[in-house]
């Protein structure tokens, strides 16, 4: 932990509040976060048009390849997301403790659930004093795991399963993900669940952005800038 020492005073003779900064998110985690954000945006945009194609365009069909470009962008973004997800899983093992938080929830810990309940009250405006955490707070960890990490893995698995239909039964995609059709033999069911998963992640993203901005303002600790610099700044020092 690095502490910015208080100065004797500013030009008006007023005391400067001491602030604490802690290095939390390592560079691989931050890079993954922003690459992931871009990939999800591209996947959601192109995936929507794949599920709800554009109206027919005038002229000969051979003169247009718009849906082909949309599908290519979707597949490319999906493969980028998958590669960085695998790297992110690797970093969960070799990185600092904060790199592992989104991959598990300590269900066995009574202290965790006590703090989780406090965060529920804090976000519900039922308590006026936030608790400050170096990494994710218990509710954020819970939400990240159940509403983001699990759906993200589900989207990768079902996405490659759907891709294997075009790649063929002799493809590596079918060899690794063809078992999905043993669970849902009707391909349209997989399409439907994959499409539903997109809305789950988009709903999470909207809540995630709202909460990040809210915490930055109300809890007096940096949230958004932490995913750029890696450091968490506690704006009000607790003595």
User: What is the CB neighbour count within 10 angstroms for residue 158?
Assistant: 20
Q: Burial-class residue 33 by CB neighbours within 10 Å (0-12, 13-18, 19+).
A: middle
pLDDT band with cut points at 50, 70 and 90 for residue 62: low
Q: What is the pTM of this model?
A: 0.84
Closest of 118, 111, 149 to residue 219, by C-alpha = 118
pLDDT at 17 over 80: no
**Tokens 């995913």 — which residue?**
227
Mean pLDDT of 149-169: 94
List the CATH code of the domain at 27-53+63-220.
1.20.950.20
114-142 per-position pLDDT tens digit: 999 999 999 999 988 888 888 899 999 99
Mean pLDDT of 29-47: 96
202-229 per-position pLDDT tens digit: 999 999 999 999 988 888 888 888 999 9
Domain boundaries, the chain: 27-53+63-220
């Amino acid at each position: 932990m690095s502490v910015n020492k208080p100065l004797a005073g500013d030009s008006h003779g007023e005391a400067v509040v001491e602030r604490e900064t802690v290095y939390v998110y390592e560079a691989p985690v931050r890079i993954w976060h922003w690459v992931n954000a871009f990939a999800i945006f591209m996947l959601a945009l192109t995936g929507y048009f794949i599920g709800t194609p554009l109206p027919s365009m005038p002229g000969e069909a051979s003169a247009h390849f718009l849906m082909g470009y949309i599908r290519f962008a979707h597949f490319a973004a999906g493969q980028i997301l998958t590669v960085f997800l695998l790297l992110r899983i690797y970093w969960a093992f070799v990185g600092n403790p904060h790199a592992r938080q989104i991959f598990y929830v300590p269900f066995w810990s009574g202290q965790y659930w006590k703090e989780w309940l406090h965060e529920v009250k804090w976000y519900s405006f039922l308590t006026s004093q936030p608790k400050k955490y170096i990494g994710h707070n218990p509710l954020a960890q819970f939400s990240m795991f159940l509403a983001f990490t699990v759906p993200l893995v589900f989207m990768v698995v079902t996405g490659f399963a759907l891709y294997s239909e075009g790649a063929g039964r002799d493809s590596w995609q079918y060899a690794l993900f063809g078992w999905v059709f043993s669970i849902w033999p009707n391909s349209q069911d997989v399409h439907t669940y994959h499409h539903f998963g997109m809305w789950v992640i988009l709903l999470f993203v909207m809540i995630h952005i709202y909460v990040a901005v809210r915490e930055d303002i109300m809890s007096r600790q940096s949230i958004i800038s932490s995913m750029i610099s890696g450091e968490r700044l506690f704006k009000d020092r607790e003595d």
